[in-house]
Amino acid sequence: MIDLTIDGRDISVPEGTTVLDAARLLNLDIPTLCHDPRLKPYGGCRLCIVELEGVPRPVTACTTPVAGGMVVTTESEQLYRLRRTVIEFLLSDHPNDCMVCQRAGDCTLQELAYFYGLRDNRFWGERRRYDKEDANPFIKREMEKCILCAKCVRVCGEVQAVGAIDLAYRGFNAKVCPPYEKDLDCEFCGQCVAVCPTGALTGKVWEAQGRQKDVKYTETVCPYCGCGCNITLHSVRNRVIRVSSRENTLNEGWLCSKGRFGFEFINKPDRLRTPLIRRRKDGPLEPASWDEALGLISSRFEGIKKEHGPDALGGLSSARCTNEENYAFQKFFRTVIGTNNIDHCARY
Amino acid sequence: MSNNIKINVCMGTGGIAAGGDEVMAAFDLELRKAGLEADVEKHCAVHRVGCRGFCARDVLVDVSVDDVRTTYQYIKADMVPRLVEEHIIGGVPVEDWVVGQDYHDFHDRQEKVVLADCGQIDPEDIQAYLDVDGYKGIVKALSEMSPAEVIECVKASGLKGRGGAGFPTGMKWQFCAANKSDRKYVICNADEGDPGAFMDRSVIEGNPHAVIEGMSIAAYAIGAAEGYVYIRAEYPLAVERLHKALSQARAHGFLGKAIHGTSFDFDIKVKLGAGAFVCGEETALIASIEGQRGMPRAKPPFPAAKGLWGKPTVINNVETLANLPFILRKGAEWFASLGSETSKGTKVFALTGKICNTGLIEVPMGIPLKEIIYDIGGGIEGDRLFKAVQTGGPSGGCIPVEHIDLPVDYENLLKVGSMMGSGGMVVLDENDCMVNISKFFLEFTQSESCGKCTPCRIGTKRLLEVLTRITEGKGKKTDIDLLLDMANDIKDTSLCGLGMSAPNPVLSTIKYFRHEYEAHINDKRCPAAVCRSLLTFTVIENLCKGCGMCLRACPAGAITGEKKKPHYIDTSLCVKCGACFDVCKFKSVIKE
């Protein structure tokens, strides 16, 4: 364990801990834009600078490992000034169109501008102009709002191991893009959208569907497969407009493209809401109650088993069911029906 | 006729550009015609415009008859027959073409270690290097010294990194040697990117084996078996000579397995840089070798702990490595006896700008700036007034005339707001506008920023925008304070050395030449008459002959006047292109 002092408070943390993590253990609020505990430290945004006793320049807390006897200051007049300058630089190259931005109310950059009181800007100057519409079906990419924190690049490489995007060009013209600036063509897991601290990456599905203040959050479990990822449904006026996942869940906030973007069926008018029964041959499927439907299934199963034997029946289950459901299903077929004709789209 | 004749022809990038190839061929031909047995030998050149540092005089040719050497300057192929006939056959030097006193002054006041053999030996022949005690340093290390003793020797010499930051080389090695690992690496940083700097290229072009030997010494000291030379692809001649030298060193057993019959294995790969300035920063350089985008990362961990492929790595600059064979051979005390109290040895500088003797020089640390500029450099062109010298490349600062007596070493340069950098020295005179100079360097650094960190990516852009508006006469009263605020904050918050030092030209020019900024902002005037938007072109009536040259040259139709009568410039139409000023033969157009 390493002993150090942060803002006058003593703390003991394991070797290899960063100053930022140690400070967060003390509930100290150090601003960051490019840090994500699930990704390797980057040190790009420069907001988490802190002062170390005996070191002439401020250092970034996210990249600096703790050392024995270190004396850290996380708040000072000079640090406030430097952080403010950095945010001001970012805003001087930003559309500042919060009033129409999807992320308004849920944007780290907006938050920082608010707390640092940055209405005016000393540095107004040339702004990057990117008007290319990315034609991919899921992810809206407004690169003018990008602050180059590279979280999207890193999550795509480090977590998803896809590497669909990277930084291109240099200096002021540096930008995140797919190879040759083509339209994004990846597996659309949307992890990049999940980690973006600004409005640069959003889901096309939830564009203009509701403001943050109106969103109701419902914690639930993804119905797509047996993994059981924890998801948060964002709903506005009883309509699900978006799915996200929190970092402190078993899936650490990561989702796949189905879990993140495949929720539109919930609001579709042609979605099945009751069982349907075809009551006469060549007739239409008609809505029925669960009791009626289950009664029909049970009587038909009994009839077929009696007339043709249990092996005339077979059961096919789905990967969207949980392990427990699939277990009960095969048990039902083997013991109640009495057949081993049982399969599953991913094999039993 | 003597039977001991040796001819050296400058064949560096500069020598070749000036016609070195043709001169060599002409010598071959003429000597064969004359039936002479002379050794027409390639001669290492030091940089693009010439050899032995004195670029402007190329092609330089040495003719040695019985060890009496005569040096000729500005030699072209068609001059060769006369040289052969009069000097080589007739035995009488062609006095008209022999170099003058200024050539000797340029050289005699220098102290050459790294450059000592450049321009003297054939860089494409390992035997030439062996003849000047080459590879004796590594042999001495391998046969007489332990790795720890080698490190002690380098520490005792006081050698500091010549790439810019000036970190003590021996200490860097010691850190790396202390880290246990199955693999370690030595990297030679030959990604020389400063505009106007050509020290490293010249060393590799002129004496590549010294760099290879230096890398071997470093590898032995830290326990590395593999090395990389990261060199700019824009240096084709240096790359070619390096490859030749590497294969010769392998053939002679100085690289490869069991070197000099010991258990020391070492070999070197060459990695070409793709032209990013920031790849001269060590962590960006490592990322580039690994095949990643060349972007710096935060330190610690330092490369000595986690470098290439995550293994302990020593990165040294070309000039640093080229010093090592001499330190091993001649001893730490000898090296420590050169230079100043705190900075030991010599430093190679690329002397450029408004100076008479443009070239590559090597001087002892601590030499007064004045001696470099006036004694070696021959003073300012056209006897104009010296204004400042910009050292340290685009990230350095400008040193004004009041510090002309400054002893040049790491510490003193920092003290006056500049830095050693890799050794660029751009001399500025009264015709240079300091705001414009600062803008020039910012243009470079901002376009070479990698874009990773906010202050460098956006901050340098904003600095440049403010500087641009000042030079265009649109500066605001508050702009100097704004520049200072931005510059200091960028220095404090940037990730790597590029961002940290990019504001230096702004800070140092405001510190020493604030009045020039004020003139641009308050009086809308450029004192050096450089910033075109602030100039007014006028015709002095009594000097104008009415020749009509300016009238024809003006693209805006702003000049009127009858033949043989004074002309007139309508300032409301003038686009300030300066064409009239340039064409006037009677100096009757003035700009102010």
The CATH number of the domain holding residue A45 is 3.10.20.740
Residue A23 in domain: yes
Whether residue A14 is preceded by a cis peptide bond, meaning omega within 30 degrees of 0, is no
State how far the Cα of A132 lies from the Cα of A181, in Å rounded to an integer: 10
Residue to substitute from A64, A78, A170, A173, interface B, most B β-carbons within 10 A: A170
CA dihedral B196, B202, B203, B207 (to 10 degrees): 180
Same domain, A259 and A310: no
Determine the pLDDT at residue B393: 85
Residue B402 in domain: yes
Same domain, A52 and A7: yes
Answer whether B351's CB lies under 8 Å from B358's CB: yes
Residue B460 neighbours by CB distance under 10 Å:
29
Contacts of A57 in chain B (CB under 8 A): 492, 500
pLDDT band, residue B39 (cuts 50/70/90): low
Same domain, B396 and B497: no
Same domain, B551 and B518: no
Q: Say yes or no for a CB contact (<8 Å) between B451 and A166.
A: no
Across the range B137-162, mean pLDDT stands at: 96
Phi-psi region of A124 (alpha: psi -120 to 50; beta: other; left: phi over 0): beta
Same domain, A36 and A71: yes
Residue B266 in domain: yes
Determine the pLDDT at residue B41: 52
Domain-terminating residue out of B283, B301, B336: B336
The string of pLDDT tens digits covering residues B115-138 is 988 888 888 899 999 999 999 999
Determine the pLDDT at residue B56: 72
Is A259 touching B (CB cutoff 8 A)? Answer: no
Determine the pLDDT at residue B2: 45
Q: Name the residue in chain B with its Cα closest to that of A64.
A: B300
State how far the Cα of A58 lies from the Cα of A55, in Å rounded to an integer: 7
Residue A98 in domain: no
**Closest C-alpha to B390, from B443, B427, B445:** B427
Residue A6, beta-bridge partner list: A9, A72
- Residue span of the structural domain in which A61 resides: 2-75
Mean pLDDT of chain B: 91
Residue B407 in domain: yes
Same domain, B58 and B156: no
Is the pLDDT at B42 greater than 50, yes or no?
A: no
Same domain, A267 and A298: no
Determine the pLDDT at residue B16: 83
Across the range A328-347, mean pLDDT stands at: 92
Same domain, B49 and B142: no
The string of pLDDT tens digits covering residues B554-572 is 999 999 999 999 999 999 9
Sheet holding B68-72, edge to edge: B39-43, B5-10, B61-65, B68-72
**Closest C-alpha to B368, from B358, B359, B360, B377:** B377
Same domain, A69 and A13: yes
Determine the pLDDT at residue B90: 83
Among chain B, residues having any CB pair with chain A shorter than 8 Å are 276, 278, 293, 295, 297-298, 300, 446-462, 465, 482, 485-486, 489, 492-495, 500
pLDDT band, residue B27 (cuts 50/70/90): confident
Residue B80 in domain: yes
Identify the CATH number of the domain in which residue B14 sits. Answer: 3.40.30.10
- Residue span of the structural domain in which B54 resides: 5-103
The string of pLDDT tens digits covering residues A162-174 is 999 999 999 999 9
Same domain, B130 and B93: no
Is the pLDDT at B276 greater than 60, yes or no?
A: yes
Residue B515 in domain: yes
Q: Say yes or no for a CB contact (<8 Å) between B293 and A166.
A: yes
Same domain, A263 and A308: no
Answer whether B575's CB lies under 8 Å from B556's CB: yes
Domain-terminating residue out of B465, B494, B522: B522
pLDDT band, residue A322 (cuts 50/70/90): confident
Is A66 touching B (CB cutoff 8 A)? Answer: no
Q: Say yes or no for a CB contact (<8 Å) between B451 and A173.
A: yes
Is A80 touching B (CB cutoff 8 A)? Answer: no
Same domain, B299 and B210: yes
Same domain, B498 and B577: no
Residue B303 in domain: yes
Flag the least confident range among A50-64, B345-359, B430-444: B345-359
Q: Say yes or no for a CB contact (<8 Å) between A44 and B454.
A: yes
Same domain, A254 and A309: no
User: If you count them, how many residues does chain B have?
Assistant: 592
The string of pLDDT tens digits covering residues B69-106 is 889 999 999 998 998 888 888 888 999 999 988 888 88
pLDDT band, residue B37 (cuts 50/70/90): low
Same domain, B315 and B366: no
Percent of chain B with pLDDT over 70: 96
Taking each helix axis from N to C end, the angle separating B199-206 and B208-222, rounded to the nearest 10 degrees, works out to: 100
Determine the pLDDT at residue A288: 96
Residue B320 in domain: yes
Contacts of B452 in chain A (CB under 8 A): 44, 148, 150, 167, 174
The string of pLDDT tens digits covering residues A281-320 is 999 999 999 999 999 999 999 999 999 999 999 999 988 8
Look up residue B373 and give its two tokens.
């500029």
Same domain, B362 and B267: no
Domains in chain B, number:
5
Q: Is B486 helix (H, G, I), strand (E, B) or coil?
A: helix
Is the pLDDT at B217 greater than 60, yes or no?
A: yes
Phi, psi angle pair for A235, to nearest 5°:
-125, 145
Interface ipTM = 0.89
Same domain, B296 and B216: yes
pLDDT band, residue B45 (cuts 50/70/90): very low
State how far the Cα of A143 lies from the Cα of A131, in Å rounded to an integer: 8
Domains in chain A, number:
3
Same domain, B446 and B563: no
Q: Say yes or no for a CB contact (<8 Å) between A85 and B297.
A: no
Look up residue A75 and give its two tokens.
């708040």
Q: Which has more pLDDT, B118 or A336?
A: A336
Domain-terminating residue out of A52, A75, A98: A75
Is A125 touching B (CB cutoff 8 A)? Answer: yes
Domain-terminating residue out of B336, B365, B390: B336
Percent of chain A with pLDDT over 70: 100
State how far the Cα of A292 lies from the Cα of A234, in Å rounded to an integer: 34
Same domain, B171 and B251: yes
Residue B510 in domain: yes
Residue A319 in domain: yes
Q: Which has more pLDDT, B230 or B75?
A: B230
Is the pLDDT at B196 greater than 90, yes or no?
A: no
Residue A263 in domain: yes
Contacts of B449 in chain A (CB under 8 A): 170-172
Determine the pLDDT at residue B46: 30
Look up residue B79 and give its two tokens.
């001059």
Query: DSSP characters for A38-85?
Result: TS-----S-TTEEEETT-SS-EETTTPBP-TT-EEE---HHHHHHHHH
Flag the least confident range among B43-57, B253-267, B440-454: B43-57
Q: Say yes or no for a CB contact (<8 Å) between B457 and A171.
A: yes
Answer whether B57's CB lies under 8 Å from B99's CB: yes
Phi, psi angle pair for A312, to nearest 5°:
-80, -10
Look up residue B507 and give its two tokens.
């800070």
Picking from B450, B455, B486, the nearest residue to A46 by CB comes out as B455
* Tokens 């042609």 belong to residue: A270
Is the pLDDT at A77 greater than 60, yes or no?
A: yes
Across the range A15-30, mean pLDDT stands at: 96
State how far the Cα of B349 lies from the Cα of B389, in Å rounded to an integer: 12
Largest CA distance in chain B: 88
Q: Say yes or no for a CB contact (<8 Å) between A57 and B492.
A: yes
State how far the Cα of B391 lies from the Cα of B412, in Å rounded to an integer: 12
Identify the CATH number of the domain in which residue A266 sits. Answer: 2.20.25.90
Is the pLDDT at B248 greater than 50, yes or no?
A: yes
Determine the pLDDT at residue B52: 66
Answer whether A97's CB lies under 8 Å from A144's CB: no
Phi, psi angle pair for B534, to nearest 5°:
-100, 5
Answer whether B475's CB lies under 8 Å from B389's CB: no
Answer whether B120's CB lies under 8 Å from B44's CB: yes
Contacts of B463 in chain A (CB under 8 A): none
Domain-terminating residue out of A241, A271, A301: A271
Determine the pLDDT at residue B518: 97
State how far the Cα of A136 lies from the Cα of A186, in Å rounded to an integer: 9
**Closest C-alpha to A190, from A206, A203, A205:** A203
